[in-house]
Structure 1
Amino acid sequence: MANNKLKAPQDLVGDFWERFVTKAPGKVTAIFPNSLYATLLPRPQAQDSSASKKNFGEAYEAAANDCRTKVARIVRDCMRTNTKFTDPDFDLRGNGLDCLVGLTWSPPTTRANPSQVEDALGTLQANKVFGDVTLPMDISVLRTVLAGKPVDDEDGDHESFDPNPCSVHRVDWIYEDPQFEVDGFSSSDIMQGANSSDCWWLSAVATICHRRELMDKICVARNEACGIYGFVFYRDGAWITSIVDDNLFLARPDFGAAVGGDLHDPSNSEMRKYRKAYQTGSDALYFAACRENNETWLPLLEKAYAKVHGDYNAIWGGWVGEGVEDMTGGVNSEMVLEDVLFKDSLWKELLNEEKHFVFGLDILDQSGVNAKNGLANAHAYSLLEAREESGEDGKRVRLVKIRNPWGERGADGMGEWNGPWSDGSKEWTPYWLTKLNYRFENDGVFWMTYFDMLGTFTNLYRTRLFDDSWSVTQEWTGVNVAWLTGYLQRKFVVEVKEAGTVIFVLQQVRFHTSLTFEPG
């Protein structure tokens, strides 16, 4: 210390760095001490398992009963106050923006077209911002340069969630004769909203809605007079309830806002005409709707699903299999159709004789094409049925029935398969129309061969369903130091005491989750 007092400040700094400089040549192979893991990692400790084991059916019934109890309690309050139910946690009228986009949304970047760019450059040139430099640029050149794409969007295909519903009203205000379901649930009911991109979820709904027992497990309780609807979903290893009111977003504004308040309408006759034309029935909705003009189950189910996830923006994009998992408690696996090894084995699964699976499809073609034989790219579809039948010549044909959640062809005619076995194709003889009980309609439903399905679609989503004979055991674990090798010392031990089918699922949402399904 005494010597240091006599050294100049720069010499002290030099002494400090001298300790980190080696005179021998070599390579640095590690920057942490050899004992780092021993000091940072907790010591392994024997722990009693905290895994919870529940019968799959009993766990569902507990959630369903909770949903029914909550709905009944709300009905009593509505009767007591003579007021319809308004959901304080998902109030479209009082807090519509949060229900649409929540707290993480930001408006899409403002876009400019070639004409706007030309005008802007002309203004700069007129003010001699570029001096005497001449800019020989016209609109045709700009369109060539920009290829007709927004200047702020390099690929031109990015689609942002920018919702703009114009009004909110209750079901009995929108529909003339509202009914939760008309002739049951059906994939033909489903129409995708013109202003939404949850085709993945609608495809998931279409894959299960022909199974009455599955839909009844989702749509648990309701009181249409009070405007209360209770649903049950499966999320993060547990059944949860979602209760909503019957307010829905509409695509058109109310009459006063539409005409600006300048129209003299003392008898309200113009208002009634406007409401009848633009704010009545399924076509008036902003998001998904049922094809039947007075059927309400789909928009209310979509609203409850959006609430579970926080807002409508949260379900703007996703995967078919995840949607089926959320509504059934099943376990989804994804298969790249190009990688199928045993096509006959997959076909037997698609026949689904024991009804253990539901299936979805999508097209994610990386070639940049917008459509493949009439089918939209970057889009999800439902696989409704697989049939192997004999033709009039005795030859066996493998066919699959598929549905586009749009529910109809687009304005450009795109949306349904236009290859072999498409509507109106030469393959459809009177024999086959009768055999498959099929007729041509603009409803998004089409048939194609199994071979064409494998060559056209990119991915298949197989969701394994479970009944009351199964039990679910789940264990959650937290990871706090994800960058450190060897950080996770928690182990999972599975003891199989009798022969049977066991399904293991590893999921990551906010935490790592381990799920095991055991029969019995």
Structure 2
Amino acid sequence: MPPPGVILNIIEHRRRAEGEGSIENPVKFHGQDFHTLRQYCLRNRLRFTDGTFPPDSSSIGPGIMEDHDLARVVWRRPWEVVKNPHLIVDGVSRFDFGQGRLGDCWFLASIGAMTFQKRILEQVLPTDQGFGNDYAGIFHFRFWRFGKWVDVVVDDKLPTINNTFIFVHPKTAGEFWAALLEKAYAKVCGSYSDMAIGYLSEAMLDFTGGVYVGFNLRRPPPDLWDIMHRAVKHISLLGCLTPQGQKSGNAVLPNGLVTGHAYAVTGVTQVISYGQPVRLVRVWNPWGQAEWTGDWSDRSSLWQSVSLEDRARCLQIADNGEFWISLDSFLKNFCILEICCLSPNFLDDSKCRWASSFHDGRWVAGVTAGGCIDHIETFWTNPQYLVTVTATGPQYTEHHGLRNTLVTLIQKSDKTHRHLSPNYGIDFYIYVVPPDFQNHRQKFPSSFFYGHNPVAKAESFPVAREMTAYFQLKPGKYIIVPSTKHPNEASSFVLKIFSKLYILAEDCCAQGHLDISKHLGAQIPAAPEDGNSAKKKFSCSERHEMENFQHVFSQYHDQYMEVNAEQLQMLLNEKVIKGLTFQTGGFALDTCRSILAMMDLSVTGKLCNEEFSRLWKRVLYYRDIFLKFDGSHSGRLPLNKLRSAIHATGFTVSDGLLNLIALRYSSSSGELSLESFIFLLLRLDCMDKIFRNLSSGSGIHLQEKEWLYLTIYS
């Protein structure tokens, strides 16, 4: 059995801090190590078959083939279909492959754009493999997935019908790099059918791990041509999209363009026609056919108006899906331009070096999924990031007047299959931190957002995996608040911040970190302890109960003046729960066993008089807090009140810890019972004391026996 997921998250965080997930040290997808597996196959004279993405209908997935065709599919290795298969022959080209039955033009257009960028191609397609002497039927590819590079292993069995490949297939020379790359990406997505619909930006980001910017060509920026020209010169991928037609699906228009279709932008240039400069964009259709037939198409007479040199440099008359189109016609016939670059340098012509900051986060329903600013009462609960922008140093140049900050928000998939992961409308807001909040380091309260307006935000909650916007920010402090459109839309996300200026970004709430010593250590509630100061926190009736706890204890203890778990259960249910105005399920026996273990200083399996006294005071105190925040008197505490209720006890919890609390202790309806709330607070107190007593200040070192003792009896 694998370790619990929260432990795996801690391990992953530590490994990432040590460099795992970089392009040099990618994470092994499904734990498969390419070199180890290949060596095993070579040593045992085997051909690799991937059990995690088996050659059967489950890897093809539903919806893209009829059942009678699916039954005819035979998975074959390349050498079983063609003679002399190769991974790559004389470099890669967008003309090496053809699209199959799968509607993944968004993915193939991104591949076409990648064939122009050797550095990006080498990131995705390692050169240590092929069909030569070390061939063992195993290949691997690398993708950037939500903040980390992963190395994906596949076998080379491809689906065929009548010995014909049904998805991406080689056009010439038996090159299989594109077909195997498609298979590896299908494995990451869950199946081939999970790639049937997608966005250019997804594949572009997964190929580069870089900076994505999309442009609405209905409202293009005035410097769009310059941006495109710089992007082509930098290490960038460019793609574009045509508007959807009157009907869903793809239709070829009279001008040769396909509706609702993704294309790669493969070049930009300027020529002189009839004495006037004309800006041209070269576009490639991943179908390998269906080209633009208007001005500057392959057979347009306008090519006769340019110099012989320009004609020889640009014009290639071939039915290969690639064509030239003027910038004006491009803007009229395409709706979106997407650019993904290794850095934001293409956005302007300054020589600034961009600083960057990367953050993992999560929206949890009822806790940190507050929705957009329209839901002002819950908006503040969203994750918050404090960004300090400094104007000093070499980053700050004479170009500081240009847009200097770029923010990308990516919602992460936590599902095995890509199509099962909902894409919510996402956005982010940027607020200036005013002077009276300059030293604020905790989560900004709801009152802040009632009284301040954002200085910047992205456009309008696009329903997509990622969105990007860039701004001009002056030096100072800002709060960035990522959000979904509606409250309680749960998802993980990645926030990337780039700036030309010095930038320090930190989570206001230590999002994603479980650091009890930092967030609880100095703020343990004093109220439940002995002494007059504690008693001031309680009502008169509760003080009376505390002062007479001996009477309560005496009703349940045994002849040795101790209570066991069964006796504790009766005591809590009859003295704490009974008499309340609402119905509860009461304290379960297993819960009482855990409570007893946390308070059992003598490790006898029972509570003595003194140990019970400590417990009794805490239970009454936490019950009082619960009743205060249970405004409906239902015995159920909504998650949106959980942070305030915990804070009222004297604890300060991070967003990451609060998310885990909600997942662990709340019901399916998003509420905490009184029993769960009391147990939670007892456990927080206990675990904090364990850490503070066993740590050296920075961490805990335990022997295996000590660790087992601690976890079994606590």
Query: Any conservation in 2 of the 1:190–1:406 contact (CA below 8 Å)?
Result: no
Query: Any conservation in 2 of the 1:55–1:470 contact (CA below 8 Å)?
Result: no
Q: Deviations over 1:328-370 (max 9, x none)?
A: 112322222111141xx10011112641532111112444593
Offset at residue 425 of structure 1 (A): 1.6
- Structure 2 vs 1, CA of residues 424 and 489 (structure 1 numbering), >3 Å: closer, same or farther? closer
1:419 correspondence with 2:294: yes
- Structure 2 vs 1, CA of residues 231 and 68 (structure 1 numbering), >3 Å: closer, same or farther? farther
- Structure 2 vs 1, CA of residues 361 and 52 (structure 1 numbering), >3 Å: closer, same or farther? farther
- Structure 2 vs 1, CA of residues 448 and 477 (structure 1 numbering), >3 Å: closer, same or farther? same
Higher RCO structure, 1 or 2 (CA under 8 Å, sep 6+): 1
Query: Any conservation in 2 of the 1:365–1:458 contact (CA below 8 Å)?
Result: no
Q: Distance in 2 between matches of 1:171 and 1:197?
A: 22
1:486 correspondence with 2:363: no
Partner secondary structure for residue 386 of structure 2:
coil
Q: Distance in 2 between matches of 1:401 and 1:106?
A: 34
Offset at residue 73 of structure 1 (A): 0.8
Question: Where in structure 2 are the equivalents of 1:148-297 lying within 5 Å?
Answer: 166-193=73-100, 195-220=101-126, 221-224=128-131, 225-252=135-162, 279=163, 284-297=164-177
Report the equivalent of 2:303: 428
Report the equivalent of 1:404: 285
Q: Distance in 1 between matches of 2:66 and 2:308?
A: 55
Please provide the CA RMSD for this pair.
3.3
Query: Any conservation in 2 of the 1:54–1:471 contact (CA below 8 Å)?
Result: no
Report the equivalent of 2:326: 449
Report the equivalent of 2:410: 507
- Structure 2 vs 1, CA of residues 73 and 419 (structure 1 numbering), >3 Å: closer, same or farther? same
User: 1:449 is matched by which residue type in structure 2?
Assistant: S
Q: Distance in 2 between matches of 1:86 and 1:55?
A: 32
- Structure 2 vs 1, CA of residues 163 and 300 (structure 1 numbering), >3 Å: closer, same or farther? same
- Structure 2 vs 1, CA of residues 328 and 436 (structure 1 numbering), >3 Å: closer, same or farther? same
Q: % of aligned pairs identical?
A: 25
Query: Any conservation in 2 of the 1:168–1:249 contact (CA below 8 Å)?
Result: yes
Query: Any conservation in 1 of the 2:270–2:278 contact (CA below 8 Å)?
Result: yes
- Structure 2 vs 1, CA of residues 55 and 366 (structure 1 numbering), >3 Å: closer, same or farther? farther
Q: Which runs of 5+ in 2 are unaligned?
A: 1-12, 345-352, 397-403, 413-490, 503-714
Question: Where in structure 2 are the equivalents of 1:10-159 lying within 5 Å?
Answer: 59-63=22-26, 70-92=33-55, 96-101=56-61, 105=62
Q: Distance in 2 between matches of 1:176 and 1:460?
A: 40
User: 1:231 is matched by which residue type in structure 2?
Assistant: F
- Structure 2 vs 1, CA of residues 423 and 331 (structure 1 numbering), >3 Å: closer, same or farther? same
Offset at residue 505 of structure 1 (A): 1.3
- Structure 2 vs 1, CA of residues 349 and 362 (structure 1 numbering), >3 Å: closer, same or farther? same
- Structure 2 vs 1, CA of residues 406 and 229 (structure 1 numbering), >3 Å: closer, same or farther? same
Offset at residue 517 of structure 1 (A): 4.0
Which of 161, 180, 183 is equivalent to 1:303?
183
Q: Distance in 1 between matches of 2:37 and 2:14?
A: 34
Query: Any conservation in 2 of the 1:381–1:403 contact (CA below 8 Å)?
Result: yes
Partner secondary structure for residue 188 of structure 1:
coil
Q: Deviations over 1:285-337 (max 9, x none)?
A: 11012321411100000000000111001111111121111111123222221
Normalising by structure 2, we get a TM-score of: 0.48
- Structure 2 vs 1, CA of residues 64 and 189 (structure 1 numbering), >3 Å: closer, same or farther? farther
User: 2:229 is matched by which residue type in structure 1?
Assistant: L
Q: Distance in 2 between matches of 1:316 and 1:417?
A: 24
- Structure 2 vs 1, CA of residues 189 and 355 (structure 1 numbering), >3 Å: closer, same or farther? same
Q: Distance in 1 between matches of 2:260 and 2:203?
A: 17
- Structure 2 vs 1, CA of residues 486 and 514 (structure 1 numbering), >3 Å: closer, same or farther? same
Query: Any conservation in 2 of the 1:53–1:473 contact (CA below 8 Å)?
Result: no
Report the equivalent of 2:257: 375
User: 2:276 is matched by which residue type in structure 1?
Assistant: K
1:329 correspondence with 2:209: yes
User: 1:201 is matched by which residue type in structure 2?
Assistant: F
Question: Where in structure 2 are the equivalents of 1:330-409 lying within 5 Å?
Answer: 330-342=210-222, 345-352=223-230, 354-368=233-247, 370-372=251-253, 373-391=255-273, 393-408=274-289
Question: Where in structure 2 are the equivalents of 1:442-481 lying within 5 Å?
Answer: 442-466=319-343, 472-481=357-366
Which of 495, 503, 508 is equivalent to 2:388?
495
Report the equivalent of 2:195: 315
Offset at residue 518 of structure 1 (A): 6.0
Report the equivalent of 1:40: none
Partner secondary structure for residue 375 of structure 1:
coil
Partner secondary structure for residue 206 of structure 1:
helix
Offset at residue 238 of structure 1 (A): 1.3
Q: Deviations over 1:194-229 (max 9, x none)?
A: x11001110111111111111111012425311111
Q: Distance in 1 between matches of 2:64 and 2:115?
A: 35
Query: Any conservation in 1 of the 2:29–2:153 contact (CA below 8 Å)?
Result: no
User: 1:90 is matched by which residue type in structure 2?
Assistant: F
Q: Which runs of 5+ in 1 are unaligned?
A: 1-49, 111-161, 253-278, 409-414
Normalising by structure 1, we get a TM-score of: 0.65
Partner secondary structure for residue 419 of structure 1:
coil
